Amino acid sequence: MKKSIGLDIGKGEIAVSIFDGENYRNNTYKNTKGGLKRMVKDFKKEEDCIITMEVTGTYHLRCAYKLYEEGFDVRVENPLVVKRYSELSLRRVKTDKVDARIIATFGYKEDPRVFKPSSKDRMKLKVLVKEIDQVQRDINRNQSRIEALKQYPEKMTESIKRFKNKNKRMKEDVNQIQKEINEIIKCNEKYREINKSLKTIVGVGDRLSGAIIAYMGAYEEFESAKQVASFVGITPTLKQSGKSLYRQGSISKMGNKYLRSLLMMCAKSAVRHNPQCKALNDRLESRGKTYHERLISAGHKLLRQTYGVIKNGKNYDRDYINNMQYYY
């Protein structure tokens, strides 16, 4: 009989619910090496089971890798998907035990995403890319503080100087981290080839290329460019209800914020030098679209170009459209 095991993972404890289609059995384990060892031993007594958990920052990683290495069918799902499933069930109580039961039911009735562990190199890249993101946010916050200090009637020279010095040191840290990212990519043959192809796209540099490899790999987990755009959160939203409401919304912003910011930054160069992005920008400008809206569209176009380059295993061709028209 098929069984579904749901895990609600916290920093110190893991709530477990085992569902066989009719009944639930609950347990808890410490989120430690010893606790995981005991959990694996107990789970091996269960036959024909899948184990489902949510992405919980980094807390789920040790558990997911351990269970995967032990040969279990591990599923890791977006918490928003599980939340929507729970809302459809009209659940009002929220405890770790209840959450584990919901995840177990979700795993039994739905088809959660199969867990595919990242390589050690890709895991390191993700950590380094996230570090750059965090440092860059600190730099931006300090820059805002500097602008605020400039508004005082008295000159806050020393305070401004300290914040500028902090930003200078952090920018040096960002450059050092980027060098580490470049070195990992350089030493990995697969990533080296992907990086080489990505950087043939006009507007894509080391920062965006490294982030795409870290978060997307070779796009092996995506079946279409639309899925990639949704993952990044750079797709438009639409609100429509009968005849009274029809509104084109902004981008969804439900995906990776750092990748979106990099795409927007690279789009500023792409609208001037990337032929396809430039043509798109000119077309949208003639329709009265704002500069910000045009940058979003150019970022979307850049992302699709990276997907096409990696999936097809070919370098970027700035005359691709013209060549297609020539052949046809």
Phi-psi region at 288: left, alpha or beta (left = phi > 0; alpha = psi -120 to 50): left
Q: Specify the pLDDT at position 248.
A: 52
Q: Specify the pLDDT at position 169.
A: 97
CB atoms within 10 A of CB 158: 7
Query: Which residue spans within 149-264 are E strands per DSSP?
Result: 236-241, 245-251
Q: Residues 245-295: pLDDT tens digits?
A: 445 555 555 667 888 889 999 999 999 999 999 999 999 999 998 898 899
Burial 235-268 (b: 16+ CB within 10 A, else e): beeeeeeeeeeeeeeebeeebbebbbbbbbbbbe
- CA dihedral sign, ordered 102, 107, 111, 114: positive
Q: Specify the pLDDT at position 324.
A: 37
The residues facing 246 across adjacent strands are 240
Q: Residue 28 — very low, low, confident or very high, per pLDDT cuts 50/70/90? A: very high
Q: Are the beta carbons of 180 and 247 closer than 8 angstroms?
A: no
Q: Which residues contact 51 (CB under 8 A, 6 or more apart)?
A: 5, 7, 43, 67, 72, 73, 74, 75, 107
∠ CA 167-172-178, rounded to 5°? 125
CB atoms within 10 A of CB 146: 18
Q: Residues 156-175: pLDDT tens digits?
A: 999 999 999 999 999 999 99
First-to-last C-alpha distance (Å) of the chain: 57
Whether 91 shows a pLDDT value over 70: the answer reads no
- pTM summary value: 0.77
Q: Residues 124-159: pLDDT tens digits?
A: 999 999 999 999 999 999 999 999 999 998 889 999
- Residue range 192-220: mean pLDDT, rounded: 92
Percent of the chain surpassing pLDDT 70: 89
- Which candidate, 154, 106, 156, 97, places its Cα nearest to that of 4? 106
Q: Residues 290-328: pLDDT tens digits?
A: 898 899 999 999 999 999 999 988 888 877 555 433 333
CB atoms within 10 A of CB 63: 23
Q: Specify the pLDDT at position 250.
A: 56
